[in-house]
Structure 1
Amino acid sequence: MTDHRHPRRWLILVVLCLSTLVLVIDNMVLTVAVPPLTADLRASAQDIQWVLDSYMLVFAGLLLTSGSLADRFGRRKVMIIGLALFGAASLFATFVTTPGELIAARVVMGVGGALVMPSTLSILITVFDEQERRKAMAAWSAVAVLGMVGGPVLGGALIASFSWAAVFLINVPIAVVAIAAAVVLMPESRGPWQKPDPLGAILSAVGMTSLVWMIIELPQHGFLDQNTLVALTVAVAALGGFVWWELRTDSPMVPLGLFRNRDFSGGSLSLTLVQIGNGGLLLVLTQYLQFVLGYTPTEAGLAFIPMAVASLLFNSLGAALGTRVGNRTLAVVGMVAMAAGFVLLSDLTTTTEVLTLTTALGLLGAGGGLAAPAAIAALMGAVPPEQAGVGSALNDTIQQMGAALGVAVLGSVVAANYTDAMPADAPEAARRSIGDALSLGTPTLTDSARAAFTDAMSTAFVAGAAGVLAAATVALFVMRGRKPAPEPVSV
């Protein structure tokens, strides 16, 4: 039998992993760079908020449109354009002298990231056949986890040796290598030509941007704030209009009929719930490690190594078992393991033993290594190859929304419970922020703040465990248990 697999498919996978890695590392190292760049650029708290949020707003708003563009004009072409924009904006960011210039750079980086991310997964599912796709997807997912965990470590080392600008400069050579390798190694692929859908693109961009903005504002201002209500109203109207239009137009940008497939809908919903539980994990736990246990930023990053190692090992195990036991079984088992990890994290104290933390993070990494690739494989296995770009964009959008909602929900839970647990006579700033409480240097107040934050964090992780168990329930009853049938490869 003739082997129709692409002869350079594993080298192409390296390019796809590099393209994903540059996006993940950038988002993670920036959290470490905030204190020094704040001082150097004399940025206000509002400036920093925009530096962080401008990327996410643009990225989320353009994902669906960029996936559709990739299917129409070529996935490799769109990915290369995105990498070029991301690299150029990163280089510009190293020379900025004002917060406004850095925000502008982050906006362009968001555009580049939105063009890159859907293209990587869509190229992967068109280059690899069903037999090898699971292994390729496991490697792609593992690289993303490595970037997520290694980002803070790399960022701390770069800042200590150079300056905060180095966290942006590191993106440039990775982007250049990925572009060169894509040009030399990667075949072009696209879906059948169809009419553009400008109204769908506008409605999706406005709706997704408004939804992310509402999620960002929610923890600080609550549902009754005027800005939050306006953003929610615009999001509901635009996304409702988007669904209405896509179901009626002759050439929809997004094939919403995919949600009638149980594997696609089950994988989508379970991934959303997992990300809601998982979204605030790094944000909350890094604060605990630094403010409560006294870790440095680099030490806090190193603490996540057990999670990365377990994820890598169980990614490989899941890839080997997937064709034998099916996506649903792996997803459910992995999510139950993740829930157990969250339960262990909820039992942390102000004097936690390293073994407890390591075990909990190992369970989270192992569970994620089994569950996420299986859910993504089920979801993407339901997408026709000609719609791989927009299908990948749907997957990315679902996970971004879940992660953003998770940050908002868990952040709100921690903030509210922390304030309630603090002494009523404590200074108002100390009751709102553990960082402000510790900066006052009062031993009694410091002890109260650490205990209050730990209790609040425990409540948040119980909520995270509930979210992941809900995801396991969805996967169990919605996703199909049978093994996926082989499908034709289109390159």
Structure 2
Amino acid sequence: MSATLSAKAPPRSAASGRHRAVLIAMCACVLVAQSLVAAINLAIPQLSASDLRPSPSQLLWIVDTYVIVFAGLLIPAGALGDRLGRKGVLLAGLSLFTGGAALCALATTVPLLLAGRGVSGAGAALMMPATMSLLLQVTAPERRAAAIAGWSSALAVGGILGNTGGALIIEYLPWQGLFWAYVPLGAALLLWAARVAPRAPRGTANLDAPGSALLILGLFALLYGIIEAPGHGWGSTPVLGAFGLAALLLALFTWHGLRAAQPVLDPRVFRLPAVRAGALGIAAAFFGMFALFYVNAQFLQYVKGFSALQAGIGVLPAAVGMMLVTQRSIGWARRLGTRPTVVTGLLLLAAGLTAMSTADSGTPYPLYAAYMLITATGCGMTMPSLSHSVITALPQTKAGVGSGLNAAARELGAALGIAVIGTALSIRFSDRLPAALGDNSDSAAQALAAASRLGDGVRREVVSAYTDAVGVGYRIAAVVLVVLATVVAAWLRPPATEAGGGARP
């Protein structure tokens, strides 16, 4: 008997070690891809003063091209992994991501930089669904919830560490250094994934080129309208035209999905309450967190007087809190139920943003960090349970599509959060600026620079106007989160075993 047990022990140990290696590698890929969404924001001042001489609109596209391509390709990329093999798609994504970063670092013109950002975004889109699908492949069913929690933790922390790592690089290197840093990271991940990622059986997902094109173009039009609205105005012809085109293309995508034999994303999956609630809840959580990311670094520098490096480090409490909470939230969901855990998380996120709306130049940093910790706790409570709901509601053969839907909801939520708080911030800030500034009010940085030349009194007025605008933006985001939490609560029904007090033996 003991000999038999001894013979069986090594395979179990080896399987556990392989699972751990895959988990770490997949989480590392997710963290690096997500960090680039946030890191670029800290390079904007250097890019503005560089030989590229980008216009304000070009700066916006430099920041957002990665996110637009990332979001638009996520669901088709999930189907591509199901059809052609998830490991191969992951390795292709890492290659594109690394090559795009190198192209950005070598760029001498804005179009070349935009091309590099787009290539990296396409690589990230290929990576994200494949990482979750491969992780679930080597994870026993009873451990999948914990694996998804770890994956979600890496995703959430990636955005925060992008701010911190980007700040450290930009403090000491030119803007090209930010992209050069991702080249060895991407190359190392490529070699690591090639070694540890398992081969996955190919599924029957249809690539559905017409459906993929309609989805990508529709999302591009939607994001174009959201991104350009602060500059052109919500009622302007380009923005309304973009929203109208998005509505038309997405309606055609839905019509095509209902008629096609194997659509890239069957609209009927949204009949499942778990999928519907999960996608909306994920978008809501990232709406709130990226509203925070967009404003936080600027607030700490303009209002609190932090350097770029200090502002990047200043967000670390949120990273630590999110890592701790995401690992425990699945256990909370098992004990309390998925719906109470998720809704409480979204409401905590709204409460954190409301608390942050009260911060000003006199707020002690420990108190400000506590406000950030509340928002991070809320996000950490929601993400694992929502991701688990979407993935487990779909058949295993559609795991890539489910992963892509999860990731697309995140990126779209992030884009909308930035657009909403950015628009509110711009409108309120412009209305509150002192008349002494004249035409020097195109941006907060320009207004503060002009105010410094006009004296301390004018500068205090500008800082007060910016603080007030940030508060209004945070409160608007909090109201939106409360509304979305209400809808998620209505859609997210507990399983019958939960409703009946637990599964019976």
TM-score by length of 2: 0.90
| Structure 1 pair 44–234 and aligned structure 2 pair: CA distance change class (3 A) | same
* Aligned position for 2:196: 185
* Aligned position for 1:489: none
1:322 and 2:333 are equivalent in the alignment: yes
Residue type of the alignment partner of 2:416: L
Partner Cα distance (1:111, 1:339) in 2: 32
Once the two structures are TM-superposed, the CA of residue 425 in structure 1 deviates from its matched residue by 5.0
Structure 2: gaps spanning 5 or more residues: 1-7, 499-505
Equivalent position to 1:10, from 17, 20, 23: 20
Correspondences of 1:433-452 after superposition (within 5 Å): 433-440=443-450, 441=452, 442=454, 443-452=456-465
| Structure 1 pair 419–170 and aligned structure 2 pair: CA distance change class (3 A) | same
Equivalent position to 1:453, from 432, 447, 466: 466
Residue type of the alignment partner of 1:10: R
* Aligned position for 2:106: 95
* Aligned position for 1:23: 33
Partner Cα distance (2:352, 2:123) in 1: 35
- The count of aligned residue pairs is 484
Once the two structures are TM-superposed, the CA of residue 304 in structure 1 deviates from its matched residue by 1.0
Equivalent position to 1:395, from 372, 396, 406: 406
Q: Deviations over 1:200-223 (max 9, x none)?
A: 111111111111111111111123
* Aligned position for 1:488: none
Once the two structures are TM-superposed, the CA of residue 484 in structure 1 deviates from its matched residue by 7.9
Correspondences of 1:44-55 after superposition (within 5 Å): 44-45=54-55, 46-55=57-66
TM-score by length of 1: 0.93
| Structure 1 pair 415–384 and aligned structure 2 pair: CA distance change class (3 A) | same
* Aligned position for 2:344: 333
Once the two structures are TM-superposed, the CA of residue 336 in structure 1 deviates from its matched residue by 2.2
Correspondences of 1:416-431 after superposition (within 5 Å): 416-430=427-441
Partner Cα distance (1:99, 1:277) in 2: 31
Once the two structures are TM-superposed, the CA of residue 233 in structure 1 deviates from its matched residue by 2.1
- Secondary structure, counterpart of 1:376 in structure 2: helix
Partner Cα distance (2:497, 2:199) in 1: 26
| Structure 1 pair 338–50 and aligned structure 2 pair: CA distance change class (3 A) | closer
Once the two structures are TM-superposed, the CA of residue 69 in structure 1 deviates from its matched residue by 0.8
Contact 1:58 1:111 in 2 (8 A): yes
Once the two structures are TM-superposed, the CA of residue 122 in structure 1 deviates from its matched residue by 2.5
1:144 and 2:155 are equivalent in the alignment: yes
Partner Cα distance (2:71, 2:65) in 1: 10
Contact 2:81 2:130 in 1 (8 A): yes
- Secondary structure, counterpart of 1:339 in structure 2: helix
- Secondary structure, counterpart of 2:204 in structure 1: coil
Partner Cα distance (1:394, 1:195) in 2: 16
Residue type of the alignment partner of 1:465: A
Residue type of the alignment partner of 1:23: A
Correspondences of 1:167-206 after superposition (within 5 Å): 167-190=178-201, 192-206=203-217
* Aligned position for 1:284: 295
* Aligned position for 2:72: 61
1:464 and 2:477 are equivalent in the alignment: yes
Correspondences of 1:300-315 after superposition (within 5 Å): 300-315=311-326
- Secondary structure, counterpart of 1:41 in structure 2: coil
Partner Cα distance (2:491, 2:107) in 1: 49
* Aligned position for 2:45: 35
Mean Cα displacement is larger for which, 420-429 or 398-407? 420-429
- Aligned alpha-carbon RMSD (Å): 2.3
Once the two structures are TM-superposed, the CA of residue 94 in structure 1 deviates from its matched residue by 2.2
Contact 2:52 2:108 in 1 (8 A): no
* Aligned position for 2:5: none
Once the two structures are TM-superposed, the CA of residue 356 in structure 1 deviates from its matched residue by 2.2
Once the two structures are TM-superposed, the CA of residue 186 in structure 1 deviates from its matched residue by 1.5
| Structure 1 pair 335–29 and aligned structure 2 pair: CA distance change class (3 A) | same
* Aligned position for 2:493: 480
Partner Cα distance (2:106, 2:31) in 1: 23
Once the two structures are TM-superposed, the CA of residue 424 in structure 1 deviates from its matched residue by 4.2
* Aligned position for 2:503: none
Structure 1: gaps spanning 5 or more residues: 486-491
Q: Deviations over 1:142-201 (max 9, x none)?
A: 222332222222223223333322211221222222222222222122553255422111
Residue type of the alignment partner of 1:472: A
| Structure 1 pair 304–468 and aligned structure 2 pair: CA distance change class (3 A) | same
Contact 2:31 2:158 in 1 (8 A): yes
Partner Cα distance (1:124, 1:117) in 2: 11
Once the two structures are TM-superposed, the CA of residue 297 in structure 1 deviates from its matched residue by 1.0
Partner Cα distance (2:192, 2:144) in 1: 21
* Aligned position for 2:375: 364
Q: Deviations over 1:403-462 (max 9, x none)?
A: 1111111111111111122234541332x4221111111222211111111111111111
* Aligned position for 1:208: 219
Correspondences of 1:66-145 after superposition (within 5 Å): 66-145=77-156
Residue type of the alignment partner of 1:38: S
Partner Cα distance (1:480, 1:191) in 2: 32
Contact 2:302 2:463 in 1 (8 A): yes
Residue type of the alignment partner of 2:68: L
Partner Cα distance (1:16, 1:483) in 2: 33
| Structure 1 pair 217–459 and aligned structure 2 pair: CA distance change class (3 A) | same
* Aligned position for 1:246: 257
- Secondary structure, counterpart of 1:350 in structure 2: coil
Mean Cα displacement is larger for which, 48-57 or 187-196? 187-196
* Aligned position for 2:415: 404
| Structure 1 pair 348–161 and aligned structure 2 pair: CA distance change class (3 A) | closer
